C-alpha cells in the first residue's frame, strides 16, 4: 500500500459541468446513509474507528448485510419505480465503498498508525523508512479466502455507464473512480513505460476504452487531465495529456477550464510575472505581493490542519533565521477557511510563527492559489525581485537544495 505524503483535493468535488454548462453533482438519494452506518460499525464524528479494521471478516460482512437492509427500509415505500431502483443502487455502492475501505486498512493498528504520523511530522525519515513503518503498522492480514469474499462485494458486476446514478450518487461516483484505478493496476498494468508519472495517462486510456457514456467519459477525461497538469512533474506527459484532451473534448466548459489550468502551468514554466494577491496578515492589515517587489519572495502555502505542512515549520524557522537581513521575504499563506480565522491566528501566536503570516480569502479557491494550480499542500513558490516566477513548485525548507539555491541567489 503506497503512502501519499501530501494533502490532495478530492477528485470529485461537488460541482461538475454538463454539456450546456455547469450543473451540480448531487448525493440526494439516501441522505442519511452515514447516520445509518454508524449503527453498524465503529464511527466517531463521521470517521471510521480503528476497531473496524480489527473486526473479523464474517462479522463485518454480516454488519454490511444489515446496513444494506436498513437502507432498504428507507426506500421500500418509494412509489416511483425508477427512483426506487436508483436508491437501491445507491445503497449497494455505499456498501461497496465501506468494504473497500475495510479491505484496504484491515489489521491497521492505531498505535502503529500514530507512530507513522509522528515520523512524518518529525521529517527525520525518508519515504522508504516511513513506508516500512506503515507496513509494520498492520498487525494482521487477510487470507486469500477472506480477500476473495470482500472482492465479490466490492467488484460485483455493475454497469459503468449509468449517467443518472452518476449525477445523483456520490457512492457510485467514488466506486467508479476506484474501479478505474483497479483496472489500471490489473487489466492495463503493462500499458505504461513512464512509471508512476504515467499512471494517470493510463487511467484516461481506461476511461476511453471501458466507459461508453459520453457524460461520464467527458467528466473523467476532464478531471484526470486537470490532475495531470497540476500534479505531474514530467513536461512531456503534461503536454501529451493537454494535446489529447483538447483534440477530443466536446464540452465547452471543460475545454475552457483546462485551457486556464494549462495557461497557469505555462505561466510558471515561462517565468512570467506572478499574479498579485491581497491578503490579511495576523494584525488585520492588507498585504499585496506587489508591495514586496525589490526582494526575493519565498511563499509557503499551508494550513493548520495539514500535518506535512506543520512538519516543515521548524525547517522554515531555521531558514528564516539563516537568511535574516538578506534580500528575501518569507511569506506564509494559510488556506484555512476564513470561518476558522481565529483558529489560524491562535496557531500562529501559540507556535511563534515568524515571517509574514497571511490568510487567503477563499482557501483553495483563492485566485492566487488557483493560478498556481495548487492541488496539494504544502506548496512552495519562489519569486524574484522583479515579481517574476522562479519556481511555482519550489523546494521545501527541509530540502538542502533550497539552501544551495538561495545561497546562489542572495550572494
**237-242 contacts at long range (C-beta below 8 A, 24 or more positions apart):** 237/194, 237/197, 237/198, 237/201, 238/262, 238/265, 240/201, 241/200, 241/201, 241/204
Q: What is the pLDDT of residue 139?
A: 84
Q: CB of 297 within 8 A of CB of 382?
A: yes
- Note the pTM of the prediction, 2 decimals: 0.81
Domain with CATH 3.40.30.10 in the chain: 278-409
CATH code: domain 278-409 is 3.40.30.10
How confident is residue 3, by pLDDT bands cut at 50, 70 and 90? very low
* Local confidence band at 299 (pLDDT 50, 70, 90 cut-offs): very high
Residue 219 CA to residue 222 CA, distance in Å, equals 5
- Cell 471543460 appears where? 254
**Residue-level pLDDT at 16:** 35
The whole-number pLDDT of residue 123 equals 60
Burial of 409 per CB tally in 10 Å (0-12, 13-18, 19+): middle
Q: How far apart are CA 325 and CA 94, in angstroms?
A: 56
| pLDDT tens string 4-51 | 333 333 333 333 333 345 567 999 999 889 999 999 999 988 889 989
Helix (H) / strand (E) containing 302: strand 296-302
- Eight-state DSSP code of residue 11: S
Q: What is the pLDDT of residues 221-276, one digit of tens each?
A: 999 999 999 988 888 899 999 999 999 998 999 999 999 999 999 988 888 999 99
Contact by Cβ (8 Å): 64, 98: yes
pLDDT beyond 80 at 334: yes
Mean pLDDT of the chain: 89
- What pLDDT does residue 9 have? 37
pLDDT tens digit sequence for 98-135: 999 999 999 988 777 777 666 766 666 666 776 777 77
Judge contact between 252 and 284, C-beta under 8 A. Answer: no
Which cell numbers hold the place of 383?
519569486
* pLDDT per position as a tens digit, 360-406: 999 999 999 999 999 889 999 999 999 999 999 999 999 999 999 99
pLDDT, tens only, 199-223: 899 999 999 999 999 999 999 999 9
Looking at residue 122, what is its pLDDT?
Answer: 63
More confident residue, 166 or 307: 166
Give the 3-state secondary structure of 100-136: HHHHHHCCECHHHHHHHHHHHHHCCCCHHHHHHHHHH
Amino acid at each position: 500500500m503506497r503512502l501519499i505524503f501530501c494533502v490532495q483535493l478530492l477528485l470529485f468535488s461537488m460541482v461538475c459541468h454538463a454539456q450546456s454548462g455547469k450543473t451540480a453533482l448531487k448525493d440526494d438519494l439516501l441522505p442519511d446513509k452515514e447516520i445509518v452506518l454508524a449503527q453498524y460499525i465503529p464511527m466517531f464524528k463521521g470517521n471510521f474507528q480503528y476497531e473496524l479494521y480489527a473486526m473479523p471478516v464474517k462479522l463485518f460482512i454480516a454488519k454490511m448485510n444489515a446496513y444494506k437492509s436498513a437502507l432498504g427500509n428507507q426506500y421500500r415505500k418509494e412509489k416511483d419505480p425508477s427512483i426506487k431502483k436508483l436508491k437501491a443502487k445507491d445503497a449497494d455502492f455505499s456498501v461497496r465503498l465501506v468494504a473497500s475501505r475495510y479491505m484496504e486498512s484491515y489489521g491497521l493498528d492505531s498505535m502503529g498508525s500514530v507512530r507513522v504520523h509522528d515520523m512524518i511530522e518529525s521529517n527525520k525519515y525518508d519515504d522508504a523508512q516511513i513506508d516500512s513503518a506503515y507496513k509494520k503498522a498492520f498487525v494482521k492480514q487477510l487470507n486469500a479466502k477472506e480477500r476473495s469474499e470482500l472482492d465479490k462485494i466490492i467488484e460485483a458486476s455493475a454497469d459503468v455507464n449509468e449517467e443518472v446514478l452518476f449525477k445523483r450518487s456520490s457512492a457510485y461516483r467514488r466506486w467508479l473512480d476506484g474501479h478505474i484505478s483497479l483496472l489500471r493496476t490489473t487489466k492495463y498494468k503493462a500499458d505504461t513505460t513512464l512509471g508512476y508519472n504515467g499512471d494517470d495517462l493510463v487511467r484516461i486510456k481506461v476511461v476511453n476504452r471501458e466507459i461508453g457514456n459520453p457524460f461520464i467519459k467527458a467528466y473523467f477525461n476532464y478531471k484526470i487531465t486537470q490532475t495531470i497538469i497540476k500534479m505531474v512533474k514530467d513536461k512531456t506527459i503534461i503536454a501529451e495529456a493537454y494535446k489529447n484532451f483538447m483534440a477530443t473534448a466536446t464540452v465547452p466548459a471543460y475545454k475552457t477550464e483546462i485551457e486556464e489550468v494549462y495557461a497557469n502551468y505555462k505561466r510558471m514554466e515561462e517565468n512570467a510575472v506572478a499574479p498579485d494577491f491581497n491578503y490579511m496578515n495576523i494584525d488585520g492589515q492588507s498585504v499585496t505581493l506587489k508591495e514586496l517587489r525589490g526582494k526575493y519572495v519565498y511563499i509557503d502555502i499551508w494550513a493548520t490542519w495539514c500535518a506535512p505542512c506543520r512538519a516543515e515549520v521548524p525547517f522554515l524557522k531555521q531558514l528564516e533565521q539563516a537568511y535574516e537581513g538578506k534580500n528575501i521575504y518569507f511569506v506564509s499563506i494559510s488556506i484555512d477557511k476564513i470561518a476558522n480565522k481565529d483558529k489560524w491566528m491562535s496557531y500562529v501566536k501559540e507556535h511563534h510563527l515568524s515571517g509574514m503570516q497571511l490568510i487567503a480569502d477563499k482557501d483553495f479557491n483563492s485566485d492566487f492559489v488557483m493560478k498556481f494550480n495548487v492541488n496539494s499542500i504544502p506548496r512552495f513558490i519562489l519569486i524574484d525581485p522583479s515579481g517574476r516566477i522562479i519556481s511555482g513548485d519550489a523546494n521545501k525548507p527541509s530540502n538542502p537544495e533550497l539552501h544551495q539555491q538561495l545561497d546562489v541567489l542572495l550572494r
